Each structure stands twice: as structure tokens, then as C-alpha cells.
Chains A and B, each alone.
Chain A
Amino acid sequence: MAFTEPKEAFPGSIYDVTFGTERTVTFGGEHGLAFHGFEGAAPHLPVIAFEVQDSLPDDWPEAVHDVYAGVSGDPAVWARFCQDELKAQAIALRLLSTHPDREDRPAADAAKTVADVLDAVSVPIIILGSNHVEKDAEVLVAAAEAAKGRKCIIGKAQEKNYRTITAAAMANDHLLIALSELDINLCKQLNILITQMGYARERIIIDPMCSALGYGLDYTWSVMERIRLAALAQNDAVMQQPMLADVGMYAWKTKEAQAPEAELPRWGSLKQRGIAWEAITAGSMLLTGAELLIMRHPEAVASLQQFIGELSAADER
């Protein structure tokens, strides 16, 4: 039997997205499934952003908390550390202190933080709210204004607050993350609602909702796979945006990233376990199509960068 490689060409392709001004980064643009460069163009590699918070990361496990021990009191210093020392391609600034259950800081404070961080670094920035639907609507409007002219990615816009956040992204020339909860139909619907406001669909980034290894990763895997097949195979123009995986916060919240060795001797080294939890969660998201990752541990990021290098070099035997 002679073997002919059963390559598939898809009618659809993914939009590419560029963000940042001084330094820019581009991701997306594929004409095939993730790392299927052997059958469809894959012009850009996925991008990994380091997560920075405006609130002390005192609920982060030691293994990742300690990395930022000297810098985490000031988001601008923290961001600079990621850019200069860790060679971050991008920064994801999470305005967590604005959450009513945290410090409930006002939108004006968040705007100031955004301005400080933007002054401190030249890499592109993702600006995230605290994931409180009402508060995010206020905070992200102020943040988007403070970042005007820097072409950031802001989010996350959800079904309940997309109007204000989309309007703010549009008025200040930012890109927008659209978050739906593990449901391909809701994902599509939100993209439609956002574009009906006049926002260009090429400027949306899909967040299908991440889940950590062992904690629903299977749901995220299949939703992402289906979104990507809808975009490529069915050529559904409403689903052709690149996807985000907000990995760090899910991976480091798990029991496996936190439980001490003394309590669970069969689970092995706590430090390695935490890093592996983040690396595998992230790696898995890459295989199903994520082009933008938000991560925390530099060692997990370094491994992922090596992994991305290998995945995109299928011709090297």
C-alpha cells in the first residue's frame, strides 16, 4: 500500500492580532489546527504574558510567590522585573484590588496603576479586571482611558457587562477579550453581540474559560477544539478569533500546586508539582489552539517556550 499523507486544507483561517505600540507582538493568523504547520500556514507563534497584580499575591503558593518576593508590592516594579529580568514578551496586569471582596479600590486608583505600569515598561500590556461583572464595567472603562494610545488588550467582557467594556475598548483603540463559560454557543453569541455594537470582529480575542489540569481541563479542551473546528472547517467567521488561556490563576489554585509533601508523600516534590501543573495546563491549551497564554512561574514559561519551539518545528526529525 502506498502511503499518501492525508493532509487537510481548511476553508477558514484565524485572524491575526497585533498589540502594543513601542514594542508590538502578533499572534494568530493560522490556516490550520494548532501547530499543523505541515498542512496550513502558521505565521506566528503563541505569546506568553506574565501575570502581574495590583494587590499582594499573598494567596499564591510559595513556589511562585517567592519568585516575586522583592517586587510584588508595586505593580510597576513587578512588571519591569518581568520585562527586564524574565524577558517577558507581554505583561498581563490584573486589577485584583478593585474586587469588592479584596480591597474594593476605586476605578480611579486602577487608572493610576495602569498609567504607572505603562510608564514602566515598553512590552505590550493586557489589562484585566477582577472578574466582578459590575465592578469591572467601571474599572475597565477608567483603565481603557488611562491606556489610550497604547493599543492594549482589555477584558474580560462577559454577557452581563460587555456593552460598557466594548464601548471603552472601541473609544480608546484597544483589543477586547470576550469571556464565555465553557459553551460554544454562548461564545458565538457574545461575539455576535459585541460586533453588533460596531466593534470589529478581527479585534476580539476569545476566552472560552480555562480550567486547570484535573479540574475540568477536559471541558476546556473540547470546547476549544470545537470552537477551532467551527472556525476552520465550517469557516464560521464569528469564531475565527485567536483564543486566550488564562492559565496561572487556575493552575496555582489547585490542591496539587499547594498540598505539602509531608501530607501527601505520594505526590512528590511540591515545587516541581506546581510548575508541572501550570506547564501541562498551558501546554494542553496550546495543543487545542490557544495563541495567548497568561502564566506565573518563570520556569513553567521557559519550558513552554522550549515546547513551542519544538512544536513549530515538525520537519526536524
Chain B
Amino acid sequence: MALSGVQIFKLLPKTNCKKCGHPTCLAFAMKLAQRQASVDACPDMSDESRGLLGAAAEPPIKTVTFGAGPHVCTMGEETVLYRHEKKFVRPTVIAVRIADNQPDAGIHAALADVLNSEIDRIGQKLRIDAILLDYVSGNSARYQQLLEMVMAQAPDVPMILSVQDADVAETALRSAGTKKPLLHGVIADNFEAMSQVALKHKVPAGIIAQGLDAVAQLAEKVKGIGVSELVIDSGARTAGVVLRDNTLARRAAIKKNFKALGYPVITFAGRDDAMLETLVAMTGIAKYSSIVVLNRSEQWRNLALFTYRQNIYTDPQVPMQVEQKIYKVGEPTPESPVIITTNFSLTYFIVAGEIENCRVPVWLAVMDCEGMSVLTAWAAGKFTPAKIAQFIQESGLPEQLTKKELVIPGYLAILSGALEEKLPGWTVTVGPREANALPAFLKNRPQ
């Protein structure tokens, strides 16, 4: 359970000796409460306090990582149930399942889809994060082949080994070397052997049981054997069960400090119907799954699910922003108009999208307004005539233009007079209010 700064302060020596690098014990306590300092920084703390604070510093949902290298997957660490309380911190890992009971061609095609999945959205590179290698052939040599294909073709993509046979798991993990896959396959019948395998290879283990009670009990047993990085699978496969199990598990971990369910959750969304699969995956992303596993990775679906995850996992206090700069839309000339807007990603996307659609080349001047929409930025004093004029003057644009025309958002028509005064030599034109009227406006303008 998270402790408040004051609760932590009571456990400190209260000598204000500054050895921790903070002016007072209270200041250190506040930093600890915000998880911005480590308990170890204070050398004088009693062992009892150290133990208490150490346990309290553990996040209610354990940090678990798998994979190695640049794209390692980190999960857990969530502290709230609703995103308006505090940002959700660890975006759901989106994984694709590849089974070993299909011809090589199918495996190669699925791998190619994963490798081709990268999409750039609002400055973030998004991609299928992991591959789940499903052991269904019953032939351990075949599983080994699948593993080798994946490691050869997609060496940087973290792996989830879905295997319930300890011998097959042992062989696979030996081949996987230092890649630290997630071993998803601990069930009541194999937990001792599987735990030993996970322990030996230092990999996280996925606990599978039907229902939250069963999965919690099994997780405790496996933890008792010494495997501390766990992922849980309560057998939820349909949207309603995913919603219920995930909600109850997250609540138990966060509100009741119930450690046996304080682990990342893996959700299998796979369905024959691609759209239903997408909706089940969406439920997992919105409702607390740390991994969702899909059966396939079509591009249209990747785009939709990546975008959805980005929406849910943005910081509700800090809007998504794009870089302040002059964006060229089409091939603008020294005669083309300049369109000004704010750097709120949503505003930028809508405005840029409309202009692109109508194929009239323009200079799109995107001004840093701390990610606020046009009216919000204006109301907050970030998008004023003086600031706009300064931005334009310093942008390097005036030197490139022969015809200086600035189009401003219709909602801010009242700024036009003041802007013309501050931008000598420029014509300020009031554009339409809504961006969807921009194409008609741009096409019908006197050239």
C-alpha cells in the first residue's frame, strides 16, 4: 500500500542530517512518497523502518519484464483504476500468436506481418510488441523449429513461449539464451517442474488457472518456489469475463493490497471473427490487461488498436503534442498562404488532414501552445497576437515568401486587427471556424 509523505516521515530518524542529499527528513519523505527517491539513500534508518518502507515502495502491481534489447516489454506498476486519477503507466503489450502446427510458409507470412507492423503516430513508433509461440503440434522438434525461425527472422521481438510441457520448455529456453522470453504455461498439474525451469533460466512465468481464486492460489505456490516475476491468466476469453476478472483483480491489488493478484494480466483475444477479436482486445487495453494476444495482425487493425492504446495511456494532465515548426503540406511556393494553428496533436491532425485532403499546398505553421486546442490556448493566454507575431517573425518564413498571407482560425476572428498591426506587410485572413470547411475555403480563395 502506498504511504503518504507524512506516514513515511514518522519512520525516519528525524535528525535532518542531510546525508540523503535532501535538506530535511521531511523533504526526503516527500520524495519517497512520490517514488522519486530510494529508501537506501538514508544510511541511518532503522532496519524495521527499512523493511516497512521497502514493502510499501513495492508497486501494488509488480513490475515484470520480458524480452531483451531495445524493445524489452515492461509491465505492471499501475496504481489506479481510472485514468483521470493518474496516468496509466505501462501501455498494454500487443502480441500476435503464431502456432507451430502450420506450414513454414504460414509462419514466415505471420512473421513478415509482425516485422512490417510499425506505424508512426504523433511522433511515436508503434508496432506489434511481442510474438507468442504456441506449442500445439505435440512435437517438440517442430516447436524448436518455430523458435529458430522466430529468432532468426525477428531477433529483436520479445517472445512469449506458450508451452505446458516442462521438458519442451527447458529445451526452448536453452535455445533462447539471453532473450528472456515469458514462459506462459504454469498450470496446477505442472507447477513444480515448470517453476524450476523458470527459476533456472531466470524468466518470468505465466500462471494459468480457471478463475481468480485458483490463479491467486497457484501464483502463491509458484512464488513460494522462488519465481517472483509472474503474469496471470484467469482463463478469461470473452469480453464480459475479461472485464470482470480484470476489474476484480486490479481492485484487489490496488485497493486491498492483495499481493497474490498483484501481477500483470495476459488476455487471449483470439477469435475467428477479426472485428470481434479487435473489440475483445480493445476491452483488454481499456480494462487493465498488460498483454493482449491476437491471432493475426492486419494493418487496419494494428492502426486501430495502437491508436486506441495511445488514447487510453496518454497522461490526462498533459495533452499529446506535436513539434512546433513550419510543416509543408503539398509543395508550397513563396506565393502559398500560411495557416496557423496550435501544437495540440488533435488540432494539428484535424487541420493537417483537411488540408491534405483538398490538395492545396500551404505552409502550416504549428505554434507551441503547450498542447492546447485553439480556444483553450487563447483562453489561457498562449495564443495571443503578440506571441503569434513573434513566432511567425522568428520562423524563417517571412524571408521565403513573396506574398505574405496568414490565415487564422475562424474562432479567433477577433485577433485579426491586432495581428495585422503586429505583422506589418502581412495580410491576415480569417478562415472558417471548423477545419472541415477549410478545403472549400482554400479552393475558392482568389489565387
Instruction: List chain A positions with a Cβ less than 8 A from chain B.
Output: 1-3, 5-8, 35-38, 101, 213-218, 221-222, 225-226, 229, 253-256, 258, 266-270, 272-273, 275-277, 279-280, 283-284, 287, 299-300, 303-304, 306-307, 310-317
Chain A residues, CB < 8 A from B279:
279-280, 283, 303-304, 307
| CA of A270 to CA of B261, assembled, Å | 41
Extra 11 A-B pairs, beta carbons < 8 Å, given A268-B301, A276-B301: A5-B248, A36-B244, A213-B311, A268-B300, A269-B299, A277-B304, A303-B276, A307-B276, A310-B239, A316-B240, A317-B237
Q: Output the least CB separation between B305 and chain A (Å).
A: 8
| CA of A215 to CA of B220, assembled, Å | 43
Q: Are B83 and A272 in contact (CB under 8 A)?
A: no
B299's partner among A267, A275, A279 (CB-CB below 8 A) is A267
| CA of A307 to CA of B275, assembled, Å | 10
Chain A residues, CB < 8 A from B216:
1, 3
| CA of A273 to CA of B119, assembled, Å | 14
Chain A residues, CB < 8 A from B283:
283, 287, 311
Q: Are B248 and A222 in contact (CB under 8 A)?
A: no
Q: Are B298 and A1 in contact (CB under 8 A)?
A: no
Q: Are A266 and B357 in contact (CB under 8 A)?
A: no
Q: Output the least CB separation between A30 and chain B (Å).
A: 14
Chain B residues, CB < 8 A from A218:
83, 311-312, 314, 316
Chain A residues, CB < 8 A from B308:
213, 217, 280, 284
Chain B residues, CB < 8 A from A258:
357
Chain A residues, CB < 8 A from B260:
1, 3
Flag the segment in B135-143, B251-259, B401-409, B422-430 that touches A. B251-259
Chain B residues, CB < 8 A from A279:
275, 278-279
Q: Are A38 and B244 in contact (CB under 8 A)?
A: yes
Chain A residues, CB < 8 A from B303:
256, 266-268, 273
Is B58 in contact with chain A by the CB < 8 A criterion?
A: no
Is B21 in contact with chain A by the CB < 8 A criterion?
A: no
Q: Output the least CB separation between A134 and chain B (Å).
A: 15
B311's partner among A7, A214, A311, A317 (CB-CB below 8 A) is A214
| CA of A37 to CA of B255, assembled, Å | 20
Sample of 25 A–B contacts (CB below 8 Å): A3-B216, A6-B258, A8-B251, A36-B247, A214-B311, A217-B311, A218-B311, A218-B314, A225-B83, A225-B84, A254-B353, A255-B353, A267-B300, A268-B301, A272-B298, A276-B275, A276-B278, A279-B279, A280-B304, A287-B243, A303-B275, A314-B241, A316-B238, A316-B240, A317-B241
| CA of A213 to CA of B300, assembled, Å | 13
Q: Output the least CB separation between B95 and chain A (Å).
A: 19
| CA of A245 to CA of B121, assembled, Å | 25
Task: Report the nearest B residue to A299, measured CB to CB.
Answer: B275
Q: Output the least CB separation between A279 and chain B (Å).
A: 6
Chain B residues, CB < 8 A from A256:
303-304, 307
Chain A proximity mask over B327-356: 1 for CB below 8 Å, otherwise 0: 000000000000000000010011001001
**With A1-B259, A226-B84 in contact, is A280–B240 under 8 Å at CB?**
no
Chain B residues, CB < 8 A from A300:
275
| CA of A1 to CA of B258, assembled, Å | 8
Most buried by B among A3, A216, A256, A272: A3
Q: Output the least CB separation between A309 and chain B (Å).
A: 9
| CA of A225 to CA of B84, assembled, Å | 8
Task: Report the nearest A residue to B116, measured CB to CB.
Answer: A266
Q: Output the least CB separation between B3 and chain A (Å).
A: 21
| CA of A300 to CA of B304, assembled, Å | 14
| CA of A172 to CA of B213, assembled, Å | 54
A272's partner among B243, B244, B300, B314 (CB-CB below 8 A) is B300
Task: Report the nearest B residue to A304, measured CB to CB.
Answer: B279
| CA of A5 to CA of B305, assembled, Å | 30
Chain B residues, CB < 8 A from A276:
275, 278, 300-301, 304
The 4 closest A-B pairs by CB, nearest first: A268-B299, A268-B300, A314-B240, A255-B353
Q: Are B239 and A311 in contact (CB under 8 A)?
A: yes
Q: Are B298 and A268 in contact (CB under 8 A)?
A: yes
Is B210 in contact with chain A by the CB < 8 A criterion?
A: yes
Task: Report the nearest A residue to B437, measured CB to CB.
Answer: A101
Task: Report the nearest B residue to A269, measured CB to CB.
Answer: B300
Is B361 in contact with chain A by the CB < 8 A criterion?
A: no
Chain B residues, CB < 8 A from A268:
298-303
A1's partner among B220, B314, B350 (CB-CB below 8 A) is B220
**With A3-B213, A253-B436, A267-B299 in contact, is A280–B282 under 8 Å at CB?**
yes
| CA of A213 to CA of B314, assembled, Å | 13
Task: Report the nearest A residue to B235, measured CB to CB.
Answer: A317
